[in-house]
Amino acid sequence: MELRASASWARPQEGPGDAEAERPEPGAGAGPGTPGPGALRAALFLRCLCLVGFLDLFGVSMVVPLLGLHVKSLGASPTVAGIAGSSYGILQLLSSTPVGCWSDVIGRRFSLLVCILCSALGYLILGVSTNMFLFVLARVSVGIFKHTLSISRAMLSDLVPEKERPLAIGQLNTASSVGFILGPVVGGYLSELDGGFCLTCFICFSVFVLNAGLVWLCPWSEASIRNTRSSLRLGESRAPSGKTGRAGPEASPGPGAEGAEGAEARGPWAEGVAALQHLRSLVTSEMGDVLLVRLLMALAVMLYHSNFVLALEERFGVRPKVTGHLISGCSALGALAGLTLGPLLRLYRHDCPRLLLHSSSLTCLLLLLFAAAPTAGAAAVPALLLAFSTAVGRTCITDLQLAAGGARAGGALIGLGQSVTAVGRVVAPLLSGVAQEFSPCGPPSLGAALALAAVSIMLLHRLRYGGDGSGRLKSE
């Protein structure tokens, strides 16, 4: 389902102070319900971001399944290989929030280009790595700068109105998931060739360079128009638009705001510190519960995935080849989940917290059914449905984070969410190992318990959108 780029939000109605921020385009809004040139360029920008997400995970998923074999070929011990593998998750945990805040300060375009090019350099070094030092160096570069999808989601939050935001993020997730489905297939074929790993990494490097060119050619003027509208409506101060790739153009200062000149006079470091202080106040207030729910649901899903192949083999004797087909089917269903977000949001009247509550409850139930399944066929049904419920829940929780923070520090908010998910990546293997000592059903059973805790938090606090049009959350 294509995201509607109607003229109503691509070219906002002019109000006091809007005339200088946006000049009307000739031919826009020529007839009722007819999208003007601004709306068409906004739709093109959204498609560009979806293509960026597709190419990003397509390139990454070609290389990631081959990392274990490459580390083994370098002669590393299992312990050293484990430490090298953990370094990526730890670096993601430490860098997600600062990189997101950095994108808020210097602008999405420049930060996205830097992240793509530095990630490309990391994969190029990985392809020529002949020892563990070069391998770790490559993973460090990728671990610090591989935040392209987070910045793309922040850009979508800048561009689209609140009601369209979950659908836009869902479509970006769908495009990325399709890339993750196709990438391992291509990488598997390339790995069979002589020097296959080096060739795969070089192709991944080329895909990232192509992605950087696509970002450079995107119609960023439409993102600036949307940012101007948000800033004027919310009274947020923005820096002047004279710099290429800024996150938002100049806007009139609202009540209590310092104004664009004051923000520019503070400098980027002062702006970054102010954004982090704003983020800290959010975490200690209404957004703390949202982050806790995200952590619990991330742990629940990661525990389920941690021993999925092993559990099916030990419980039902399912061969890895058959399990691989099941995983591909789950990935495809998760990608299709993004296409259903439009009808779901209309059914729920754009009530994302209620949709998150129901999708999380469904995830909890499906984890229990998977853990208690008596046959492989009975386990396959909840496994397929889990791909759908988790994809919907991921989009909703991201939208709630952005709703809690409003228009300010969108990149820092999404980066903080990625840091929370990275905590889950560090903790989940440990919990999975302990739970698996008792039973192959232990990890999904523990995941169901954590999902139940997340559902209980949502029921106790009854998070809803505020009715003042600010997009913030309130407890009823």
* Confidence label for 280 from pLDDT (cuts 50, 70 and 90): low
Task: Give residue 306's pLDDT.
Answer: 78
For the chain, give percent helix, strand, coil, nearest 5.
75, 0, 20
Looking at the chain, the whole-number percentage of residues with pLDDT higher than 90 is 23
Q: Decide if pLDDT at 273 tops 60.
A: no
Domain annotation for the chain: domains and CATH numbers: 38-232 (1.20.1250.20), 287-475 (1.20.1250.20)
d(CA 349, CA 271): 36
| pLDDT digits 0-9 by tens, 149-200 | 888 888 887 777 777 888 888 888 888 888 888 888 788 788 878 888 999 9
Q: What are the structure tokens assigned to 382, written together?
A: 């909840």
Q: Is the model's pTM score more than 0.95?
A: no
Alpha helix locations (H) across 192-219?
196-217
Task: Give residue 421's pLDDT.
Answer: 84
Task: Give residue 281's pLDDT.
Answer: 58
> Which residues 6+ apart lie within 8 Å of 284 measured at CB?
none
Q: Decide if pLDDT at 340 tops 60.
A: yes
Greatest mean pLDDT among 30-44, 254-268, 347-361 lies in 347-361
Q: Decide if pLDDT at 254 tops 50.
A: no
d(CA 133, CA 403): 43
* Confidence label for 375 from pLDDT (cuts 50, 70 and 90): very high
Average pLDDT, the chain: 75
pLDDT higher for 352 or 445? 445
* Confidence label for 258 from pLDDT (cuts 50, 70 and 90): very low
Strand partners, 474: 464
Task: Give residue 260's pLDDT.
Answer: 40
Task: Give residue 5's pLDDT.
Answer: 40
Task: Give residue 108's pLDDT.
Answer: 84
| pLDDT digits 0-9 by tens, 88-118 | 878 888 888 888 888 888 888 899 999 999 9
* Confidence label for 405 from pLDDT (cuts 50, 70 and 90): low
Task: Give residue 209's pLDDT.
Answer: 95
Half-sphere exposure of 412 (CA within 13 A, CB side): 25
Q: 387 with 330: CB under 8 angstroms?
A: yes
| pLDDT digits 0-9 by tens, 287-320 | 778 888 999 999 999 889 877 877 888 888 887 6
pLDDT higher for 261 or 356? 356
Average pLDDT over residues 198-206: 94
d(CA 214, CA 383): 36
* Confidence label for 264 from pLDDT (cuts 50, 70 and 90): very low
d(CA 288, CA 402): 13
Q: What are the structure tokens assigned to 350, written together?
A: 């754009």
Q: 34 with 7: CB under 8 angstroms?
A: yes
Average pLDDT over residues 67-89: 77
Task: Give residue 271's pLDDT.
Answer: 55
Half-sphere exposure of 54 (CA within 13 A, CB side): 13
| pLDDT digits 0-9 by tens, 2-54 | 444 433 333 333 343 343 434 444 444 444 455 556 667 777 888 888 899 99
Among candidates 123, 304, 311, which has minimal Cα distance to 203? 123
Q: Decide if pLDDT at 262 tops 70.
A: no
> Which residues 6+ apart lie within 8 Å of 283 measured at CB?
291, 416
Average pLDDT over residues 376-383: 92
Task: Give residue 272's pLDDT.
Answer: 53
d(CA 99, CA 398): 17
Candidate from 116-120, 226-230, 400-404 with smallest mean pLDDT? 226-230
